[in-house]
């Protein structure tokens, strides 16, 4: 390949636009209030990568599958197996019974070796996902020299900013159909909406935070979600660093209270989440606009060992007192099954 889609050329794709011509990379969130178009990857553990590109143009998704050979379908390994995951659910319920937390998101990371590193272009995987699992916040960031190669099919809005208006679209509640959704799913969503309202309230003008939609049902390929919308108006002086500091990590993938949930997550999960459950998206500093997705339904390449790169993918579920451990495991399987099959080339599109 040659040109901007060569597999090692830096690029970003979001919202039907292709960004090329990498200018600079920084970990300083203040850059997002400067000038230019930025791709943003914010790992759950706090590593922030902001990449400014010189050229942004409309572009369709890349051709489906060209340049991609995925893992063998049977080669995926989970950081938590079924027994460990269901034991974690029971442990979280003990924390809830003790009054330490109302909800905590328990996640696991799937990993598989790539059989042909020369055909592991993350942008080509983006093409597969765009055709097989279209998503409202789909995109890719390809910065191999900076250790960032992400393809997301995220359905969830973490932050949208238009001038001084900010909004978030937390997802809580998942089923194959609307009939699968339980009272527990609605309660879970409402708890996280309260958390997001509180987070946005730290940087928004008093009285400006509202909930235009509560527990709306959204249909996505193979499943449905409950989605709410929270929005507010940034107070004078609030900027991207303050907005990220007030809201990160996203409430829907941590729990409530967030500080207690984070402590429990750290004790129970055995692998770092990385881009999964972080944030991925774009900011146009010149226009004062940006859209960051929660890094769910997200793949990333791990080239720590260049001779044996791994493809990783995260999946998880929100645990409440009403959670059944086996049902929560099944939810993580449901969230992963279609996307992992697409990446492995075993899904009929």
pLDDT tens-place string over residues 37-53: 999 999 999 999 999 99
**Local structure of 92: helix, strand or coil:** helix
Q: In terms of CATH, what superfamily is 3-344?
A: Anthranilate synthase (3.60.120.10)
Does the annotation count 172 as an active-site position? yes
Which of 100, 145, 149, 172 is an active site residue? 172
Question: What residues contact residue 122 under an 8 Å CB cut-off, 6+ apart?
Answer: 140, 142, 149, 150, 151, 299, 300, 301
Q: What are the sequence ranges of the domains in the chain?
A: 3-344
Between the alpha carbon of residue 11 and those of residues 3, 25, 119, 141, the distances in Å are 11, 12, 17, 6
Contact 228, 169 (CB under 8 A): yes
Is the per-residue pLDDT at 157 higher than 90?
yes
Catalytically annotated residue among 156, 291, 328, 331: 156
Q: Report the predicted TM-score, pTM, of the whole model to 2 decimal places.
A: 0.95
Token duo for residue 118 = 């020369």
pLDDT at 182: 86
pLDDT-derived band at 346, boundaries 50, 70, 90: confident
Is residue 258 flagged as an active site residue?
Answer: no
């Amino acid at each position: 390949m040659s040109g901007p889609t060569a597999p090692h050329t830096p690029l970003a794709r979001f919202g039907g636009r292709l960004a090329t011509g990498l200018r600079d990379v920084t970990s300083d969130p203040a850059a997002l209030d400067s000038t230019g178009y930025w791709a943003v990857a914010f790992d759950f553990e706090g590593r922030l990568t902001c990449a400014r590109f010189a050229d942004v143009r409309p572009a369709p998704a890349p051709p489906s599958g060209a340049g991609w050979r995925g893992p063998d379908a049977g080669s995926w390994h989970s950081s938590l197996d079924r027994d460990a995951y269901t034991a974690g659910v029971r442990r979280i319920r003990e924390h809830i019974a003790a009054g330490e937390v109302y909800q905590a998101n328990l996640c696991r990371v799937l990993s598989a070796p790539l059989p042909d590193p020369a055909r592991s272009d993350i942008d080509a995987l983006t093409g597969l996902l765009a055709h097989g699992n279209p998503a409202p916040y789909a995109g890719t960031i390809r910065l191999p020299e900076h250790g960032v190669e992400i393809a997301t099919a995220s359905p969830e809005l973490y932050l949208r900013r238009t001038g001084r208006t900010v909004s978030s679209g937390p997802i809580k509640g998942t089923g194959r159909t609307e009939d699968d959704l339980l009272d527990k799913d609605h309660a879970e969503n409402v708890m996280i909406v309260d958390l997001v309202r509180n987070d946005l309230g730290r940087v928004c003008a008093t009285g400006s935070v509202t909930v235009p939609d509560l527990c709306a049902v959204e249909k996505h390929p193979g499943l449905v979600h409950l989605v709410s919308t929270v929005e507010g108006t940034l107070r004078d002086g609030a900027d991207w660093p303050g907005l990220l500091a007030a809201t990160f990590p996203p409430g829907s993938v941590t729990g409530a209270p967030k500080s207690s949930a984070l402590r429990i997550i750290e004790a129970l999960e055995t692998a770092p989440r990385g881009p999964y459950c972080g944030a991925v998206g774009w900011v146009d500093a010149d226009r004062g606009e940006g859209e960051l997705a929660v890094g769910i339904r997200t793949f990333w390449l791990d080239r720590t060992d260049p001779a044996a790169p791994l493809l990783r993918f995260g999946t998880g579920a929100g645990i409440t007192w009403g959670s059944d451990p086996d049902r929560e495991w099944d939810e993580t399987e449901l969230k992963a099954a279609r996307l992992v099959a697409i990446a492995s080339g075993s899904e009929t599109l």
